[in-house]
Amino acid sequence: RAEVSSNRKDATSRRKRSSAILTPRKIQLTRNTSVYASQTQLLVTQCENQTLKTQENADVLSLKEAEIAAITKEIEGKTNFYNPR
């Protein structure tokens, strides 16, 4: 019986030591995870904003291309008088 009691005390003592060692590490890992989650969310937001800017630029480019096509057609209409095809 004394041996079983001693084994229990040893196991309890080991758990307490292990907990004392691991608890600060768990806290640090939890903090790190929180920081990484915040950084990831910031990057996602930045990517979303950049995607919107890219889409806006693509829309502007499409408008410019349409303007160029219209001007080109107008020029061709004026030059066909001199250079019939």
**In the predicted structure, residue 74 carries a pLDDT above the cut 80:** yes
Q: How confident is the model at residue 37 (pLDDT cuts 50, 70, 90)?
A: very high
Q: What share of the chain in percent tops pLDDT 90?
A: 52
Q: From CA 85, how far away is CA 68, in angstroms rounded?
A: 21
- 3-class secondary structure per residue, 4-54: HHHHHHHHHHHHHHHHHHHHHHHHHHHHHHHHHHHHHHHHHHHHHHHHHHH
**pLDDT value, residue 57:** 98
Which residue, among 73, 69, 49, has the nearest Cα to 61 in the 3D structure? 69
Query: What value, to the nearest 5°, has the Cα angle with vertex 83 and ends 80 and 85?
Result: 80
Predicted TM-score of the model (pTM): 0.54
